[in-house]
Amino acid sequence: MPSLFDRFEIGDLSLSNRMVMAPLTRSRAVANNTPTALMATYYAQRASAGLIITEATQVCPEGQGYIATPGIHSAEQVAGWKQVNQAVHAAGGKTCLQLWHVGRISHTFFQPNGAAPVAPSAIRANMQAYTDKGMEDCSEPRALETSEVQALVQTYGKAAQNAKDAGFDMVEIHAANGYLVDQFLRDQTNRRKDTYGGSIENRARFLMEIVEAVLKVYPAHRVGCRISPASKFNDIDDSNPQALYSYVAEQLGRHGLGYLHAIEGQTGGARDADPRVDFAALRKAFKQAGGRATMVNNGYTREMAESAVGSGEADLVAFGVPFLANPDLVARFKNGHPLNAPDPATFYGGAEKGYTDYPVFG
């Protein structure tokens, strides 16, 4: 039986164990959304994870929806991420950049020249954004023109090249949590009449074109994709999620991607099963079509993770808050040591406190 602490190979990428640090927004980038030396320290402290998926990183200025989140679209940002990767690699770790565009989950405050956020359709999200004035309702988006969607595909490709130049071992396409790619996938937010709307195949077209653009930069086994089929986070839903995500999983598998990363249940919330979504069937569809590894996520304990890996239910398990509060989470799990308690007041923004000052055991 495989163990959570066994090495795992994704093509020529060798992971020291099957524990993955999930992407966690920490809002500590500085001017021009640039990664910092403090971020390099934070990630290097957690380099014992088999793989670190760094925080969601916007592929272009229009992709921002939160204060102090890093980008991957300028030379300055690439240089900042390079120092992060150098620190993690020096500590023996592997890194994966999550490519992100928030779409309608934004506010004119974040948009160049105060423009409206963009989305597949002009449907305002019943959510709030944190701006310089505090919490404000998300702005009403405008629908992207077909030519703009095609241009955004190339933007993702350029972001992947920037990630490669910065030294990332892999990239993950963020197609979850109600952000732009997810907005295209789901029929509640996609009412388009062109080739990017209507049928499941059309709604998935944007994602698949992004995959193809990224595969011109990275080999398939070094590209992952994150989905959240049951989550309604960021005011999103679909009328038939099983049919939608079965198609998505199969198509991602046909591209031979390195992993399918699925959030089970509600993002950052309950794991309650959605009777409309069969996650085991999605993982099976991905692998049968040619995908390499499956990654599970959402509230996994050590015992749950060991069971998932040992039974073959999943190849990798992603942990979020436990890695945030325990830089040595792998050793703590392996040795049965107690965990540090996380401090939610310091999750977003700030400096060292609640970021790089969590102690290792003993």
Half-sphere exposure of residue 10: CA atoms within 13 angstroms, side-chain side: 29
Asked if 154 and 147 touch (Cβ cutoff 8 Å), the reply is: no
Distances (CA, A) of 88 to 48, 58, 66, 73, 168: 9, 21, 25, 21, 10
Alpha carbon 351 to its chain's center: 23
Asked if 172 and 57 touch (Cβ cutoff 8 Å), the reply is: no
What is the number of other CB atoms lying within 10 angstroms of the CB of residue 42?
24
Q: Is 300 a catalytic residue?
A: no
- The one-letter amino acid code at 129 reads A
State whether residue 295 is helix, strand or coil: strand
Q: Catalytic residue, from 42, 66, 130, 179: name it.
A: 179
Tell me the C-alpha distance between 37 and 41, whole Å.
6
Tell me the C-alpha distance between 283 and 222, whole Å.
18
β-pair type (8-10, 13-15): antiparallel
User: Long-range contacts: 326-331, Cβ < 8 Å, 24+?
Assistant: 326/358, 327/45, 327/46, 327/48, 327/358, 327/360, 328/48, 328/360, 328/361, 329/19, 329/46, 329/48, 329/49, 330/5, 330/17, 330/19, 330/48, 330/49, 330/50, 331/48, 331/360, 331/361
What is the number of other CB atoms lying within 10 angstroms of the CB of residue 22?
25
Tokens of 193: 């009449």
The burial class, CB within 10 Å (0-12 / 13-18 / 19+), for 90 is exposed
Tokens of 337: 């040591």
- For the annotated catalytic residues, the residue numbers are 179
